[in-house]
Structure 1
Amino acid sequence: MAHLLGGESLHVEFPTKVVLDAVTVGVEDGDRIGIVGRNGDGKSTLLNLLGGRAEPDAGRVTVRRDVHVGMLDQSGEIDPDLTVRHAVVGDREEHEWASDARMRDVVTGLVADLPWEGRVGDLSGGQRRRVGLANLLVGDWDVLILDEPTNHLDVEGVTWLAEHLKRRWSSNQGGLLVVTHDRWFLDEVCTATWEVHDQIVEPFEGGYAAYVLQRVERDRQAAVVEQKRQNLMRKELAWLRRGAPARTSKPRFRIDAANQLIEDVPPIRDAVELTRLATSRLGKDVVDIVDVSVSYPGPPAADGSPTPDREVLRDVTWRIAPGERTGILGVNGAGKSTLLGLVTGALDPTSGRVKRGKTVNVATLTQELAELKDVGRERVSDVVGRKRTTYQVGTGSSARDLTPGQLLERLGFTSAQLQTPVQDLSGGQRRRLQLLLILLDEPNVLVLDEPTNDMDTDMLTAIEDLLDSWPGTLIVVSHDRYLLERVTDQQYAIFGGRFRHLPGGVDEYLRLRAADPVRTGAEGVGGGDVEGGPGSSRAGRGGSGGSDRGTSERMVDPHAGTPARPSTPALSGAALHAARKEIESIDRRLTRLQKDIDGLHVSMAEHDQSDFVWLGEQTGALRDLEEEVASLEERWLDLSEQVGG
């Protein structure tokens, strides 16, 4: 594989700390590398070095002479006086860019909803970010370096970007380096992971899930001080294996190894105990939204005359249950924030009624950090000290009381940071402090509105772990698919003002959007209005505490009116017998291949390292074996799903 770019003995030092020390990395043709690590550990610094945006204090960065490197940094500044068209395609005529498949794909996928001749300066921050990303992606680059490219993209935008990057080059061409907190995206796109920590860059094979497995193995052998981190990652792996079966089809590692690793890990949530606690705190009534519609005045016409009201939500019925954990999906402008306003009481319906239980205490984790505006000059310890002295985590026999300081440590704060003024914290630290202050107020209904902003993957995992033991009703609006599937038990969507249940989760949402993006968008009318069914706007009481929907729900295509087929058909009779025999054969072949791979590693390690010709031949043979293993494992997974695991 041809070398594209790399860094040799990189050293970067800031006045207060060394960020990178003696780091050597390389990117070759075909590499798709995700970069993870805690906030402040040097992820963006590493990208800036490799992208030529910064110089190391020591060491050097090398780029092959004919390699073109494109980079998207976190600022992504675009001249505000440019039009969207000029910022994306430059001076090219329409027939020129429209005839280019890549440009056409980028324009359609990222900026089709923006005013083509409008000023960039008149757009929102998220829209400008999309213009900057489109500007980069229309170019012809050998290496793409992306720093948080999924920020301000909705679920469909993230899915489009993943598919674009997978199609952009052939499998053995091009290079990708990406920093993102979106773990689904890392799993979908990346074939390798670099973890930046403790001044080094540690490589792992595979995407995020494979990285979790390998890091768990590393942590199992680490010192006692790493024990807390290890348990957290083992729990995350348990969810990957048990909570979302689709996840296991992506990472390239043996399922039996994962099962052995997590065989003693309990379920991530004790649903029965959490529901009992939630009911005792809330009673049976939480929030009932019944036959609700919400309209806003339309913008005045050009002559100043009034226009018809714009209906955002239409005939929505949602009976929220104690302990319910629900994720809300929808395109920008579909009405998600309006729906949250009904839940929190910040908004009154145009028609219908909203009833709240007498004991309901709703708290919202907003994007604006409003809880911290008046305490910027105060120390973290003083702000937290005014709250409760203890906080209970866990349920049943595992329940225990933690002090606010212990909770802060669990959320990644060090003892030194407790004395830091709130205004001096990083964005991610302020976000964590905001969540802690909300939890210490003991709400029994928690609304999370885009909670992943400014969070690294470790902190997202820690917060998910904390929410697992939180005994209340949880409502999440997020474009982070991984988080949505991790902390909620069911998902709903707003389609054209209608509110409907998604038995198939995010995959069903994307399928419905792809089938008819107009009818399922913010301006259309959602399909499926059968009273009480999953395609209805009259959704029944959800969560583990509700039973109004019954057990006979089917995933319905609202356009064709017929049940959607399961993604993997069940087998029976002779086909089932043949599939089981093939699984056994694949198992035997994988065992032999693993022995061959181990043998090659040993012989290459013992051979003369200056014999580059021989080493190159063996490297090629090793790659062939690994590709065969990957292909067999994919087949093994497909067959296992068909025979029932």
Structure 2
Amino acid sequence: MAHLLGADTISLTVGTRTLLDGVSLGVDDGQRIGVVGPNGAGKSTVLRLLARRQDPDAGRVTHAGSLRVGLLDQRDELPAGSTVRDVVHGQDAEHTWAGDAGIRQVHAGLLSDLDLEADVETLSGGQRRRVALAALLVGDHDVLMLDEPTNHLDVEGVAWLAEHLSARFGADGGGGSRADARGALVVVTHDRWFLDAVCTRLWEVTGSQSGDAVGGTVHAYEGGYAAYVLARAERERSGAVSAAKRDNLLRKELAWLRRGAPARTSKPKFRLDAAASLIADEPAPRDPLELTRLATARQGKDVLDVEEVSVAFPAAEGGRTVLLEEVTWRLGPGDRYGLVGVNGAGKTTLLRLLAGTATPDAGRVRRGKTAVVATLSQDVSELDELAHLRVVEVVEGERRTVAVGGKELTAAQLVERLGFTRERSQTLVRDLSGGERRRLQLLRLLVGEPNVLLLDEPTNDLDTDTLAALEDLLDGWPGTLVVVSHDRYLLERVCDRQVALLGDGMLRDLPGGVEQYLELRRGAPGRGASNAALGTAGSAESSDLAEDAAARSLPGAEAVPDAAAVRAARKEITRIDRQLGKIAEREAKLHARMAEAATDHAAVTALDAELRELTALKDELEEQWMTAAEIAG
């Protein structure tokens, strides 16, 4: 594969933090590289350096020939007074781009619901993101560098983008790259499903450790996110073994020093030097991150009831656009819902109704007496009014002490548990990175001890380590949870059920999860089409129309199953349980083999492909199990 661009021993220091220290990187034709790492480690900086939008303090960045590099920044700064057509196509005549199949595909995937003559200043955040992305994708670039391209995209948009980029940059169907591929992709993203679907190589940017002026490395891993997690776990396990050996040796050295007489012989000096060498060789620990499970207010039987709610707003061309039409949705204690839908369908509006910050045109939202609702909004600018405060002062403004696990913690101790070192806890809010602002938003919510959490795109700006910690926190969340997100990984991990807004004013239950939503949007035959007539979603314990549709999908079953159908369904459940047990054993073996072959790219790729097939089979069996379980009762 041809070499396109590279970085030769580049270094960069920002303030007292060393982001990069003698780092060398290369991008070859056909590669699809994902960039991950902690917030503030320098992922966006790496893109800017490689694109020559910023110069390193030392080292150099080289481009092959007349390389054309396109960079999508996190901020969608579109020219004021421009139309969508101006931003995407400039002064090009319509016939020059309308006849290009590739450009038409980008239009269909990103701009199908937009008026090309619309002023960009009237667009929503998600629409602006799609316009900026479309402007880059229609260009003729050799290397595309995308900084958080999935932010503000809905689930459908993320799926389209993954398919488009895989096809454009050399997907061969087996997770590798074609020999005739032309061009390369470098993408910073926290979307783990996207990383697995698109990337064949990952870079982990570590930045400086614990705010010290040391560090700044980039580790390279072959494969997608799953392979990266396995390889990183193996690397850290090896590092832990080495550290344990070093610790044991250090303890022996220090014990000898305590027993010896330092003044009588030169040996203690030698031993002292050896101990100092061991200490100096000890690598700095990774920043700790523990999203603490704070107390949750007691929940009663009634939490939130949306009853016959309708919401509409004036349309630009006259009339009214209906967002919600006679929607009924009952949320009980401990319910965990994921909410997906097309942009502009009313997801954020529905959250505002639940939070009590918006009122419906008709119907009502009934709130239980003990419900304490907290909302994590998409917009981190809500912290702007606190920009002059330090991180610890923001938390102290909410609560000075918090009881956690029977112990009382100060605001400073709580902030440190959330991954802010003592140095970063004294940082002004205006100087925080996007991910650090997001963590601070979350902490402000949790100290209020809510029992209902409404999370609007909670994964925006968070790194993969913080996402894992967030999921661990939500796993043990005892209250009611509603999550609006395009992150399929998060939705499937922390939510028990999914519902969708498809733009027709109805809230639909999704027994088949996100995949069923995509089928509904594609208008696919089979299960997606059969569920297209699903009605409004009910409470966690009842959604009659959804259950009837699922029951009818099992051969031989009727809308009201008879005894024979129930017996057949129970036999089907037993059969599927046995198969799922065998699949679990095969999965465990495959994971073990992948860990053993972590440094062998070809072996990991083959095993990962086998694991994907197994996962697809498991998903299919689980759907069959759910269908049979609806009939068996």
Q: TM-score range by the shorter chain?
A: 0.7 to 0.9
Q: Which runs of 5+ in 2 are unaligned?
A: 171-176, 207-214, 245-292, 559-571, 626-633
Compute the displacement of 1:510 (Å): 0.9
1:179: which partner in 2? 188
Distance 1:509 1:211 in 2: 29
Distance 1:478 1:101 in 2: 31
Distance 1:77 1:375 in 2: 24
1:352: which partner in 2? 363
Which of 465, 477, 480 in structure 1 is aligned with 2:484?
477
1:247: which partner in 2? none
Compute the displacement of 1:549 (Å): 5.3
Give, as a single letter, the amino acid of the residue that structure 2 aligns with 1:152: H
Q: Is the 8 A contact 1:410 1:462 kept in 2?
A: no
Are positions 1:315 and 2:326 aligned together? yes
Compute the displacement of 1:483 (Å): 2.4
1:540: which partner in 2? 538
Give, as a single letter, the amino acid of the residue that structure 1 aligns with 2:189: T
Distance 1:556 1:67 in 2: 57
Deviations 1:107-148 (CA, angstroms, capped at 9, x unpaired): 221122222123334434443332222121112222211111
Q: Which runs of 5+ in 1 are unaligned?
A: 228-272, 302-306, 394-398, 521-525, 529-534, 564-569, 602-621
Are positions 1:497 and 2:505 aligned together? yes
Deviations 1:485-521 (CA, angstroms, capped at 9, x unpaired): 232221101131111111111111111011189xx9x
1:510: which partner in 2? 518
Secondary structure, counterpart of 1:117 in structure 2: coil
Distance 2:97 2:33 in 1: 29
Are positions 1:461 and 2:468 aligned together? yes
Q: Is the 8 A contact 1:20 1:200 kept in 2?
A: yes
Deviations 1:198-219 (CA, angstroms, capped at 9, x unpaired): 3011011222222222222223
Q: Is the 8 A contact 1:294 1:349 kept in 2?
A: yes
Compute the displacement of 1:190 (Å): 0.6
Q: Is the 8 A contact 2:169 2:185 kept in 1?
A: no
Distance 2:120 2:306 in 1: 39
Compute the displacement of 1:82 (Å): 3.7
Q: Is the 8 A contact 2:10 2:24 kept in 1?
A: yes
Give, as a single letter, the amino acid of the residue that structure 2 aligns with 1:285: D
Question: What aligned pairs does 1:600-615 form with structure 2 within 5 A after superposition?
Answer: none
Are positions 1:22 and 2:34 aligned together? no
Deviations 1:507-563 (CA, angstroms, capped at 9, x unpaired): 11111011189xx9xxxxx952xxxxxx221x2221xxx3565995654999xxx99
TM-score (norm 2): 0.74
Give, as a single letter, the amino acid of the residue that structure 1 aligns with 2:53: R
Distance 1:40 1:450 in 2: 20
Which of 376, 392, 398 in structure 1 is aligned with 2:404?
392
Are positions 1:282 and 2:281 aligned together? no
Deviations 1:424-469 (CA, angstroms, capped at 9, x unpaired): 3333222212211211111111111222233222222222222223
CA distance 1:629–1:470, change in 2 (3 Å):
closer
Deviations 1:385-418 (CA, angstroms, capped at 9, x unpaired): 351522436xxxxx87655444322321001222
Give, as a single letter, the amino acid of the residue that structure 1 aligns with 2:167: R
Are positions 1:366 and 2:377 aligned together? yes
Distance 1:300 1:625 in 2: 58
Deviations 1:587-628 (CA, angstroms, capped at 9, x unpaired): 99x98x999x99xx9xxxxxxxxxxxxxxxxxxxx8777766
Q: Is the 8 A contact 2:40 2:435 kept in 1?
A: no
Q: Which moved more, 1:119-128 or 1:329-338?
A: 119-128
Q: Is the 8 A contact 1:571 1:643 kept in 2?
A: no
Q: Is the 8 A contact 2:499 2:508 kept in 1?
A: yes
Compute the displacement of 1:374 (Å): 4.8
Are positions 1:195 and 2:212 aligned together? no
Query: Cα RMSD over matched residues?
Result: 4.0
Distance 2:440 2:500 in 1: 30
Give, as a single letter, the amino acid of the residue that structure 1 aligns with 2:70: G
Give, as a single letter, the amino acid of the residue that structure 2 aligns with 1:494: L
1:90: which partner in 2? 90
Distance 2:331 2:501 in 1: 16
Distance 2:617 2:339 in 1: 33
Secondary structure, counterpart of 2:401 in structure 1: coil
Q: Which moved more, 1:47-56 or 1:127-136?
A: 127-136
1:8: which partner in 2? 8
CA distance 1:226–1:377, change in 2 (3 Å):
farther
Deviations 1:346-383 (CA, angstroms, capped at 9, x unpaired): 23333333322111111111234476455433333233
Distance 1:364 1:594 in 2: 40
* Identical amino acids, percent of aligned pairs: 52
2:43: which partner in 1? 43
Distance 2:620 2:389 in 1: 58
CA distance 1:62–1:369, change in 2 (3 Å):
closer
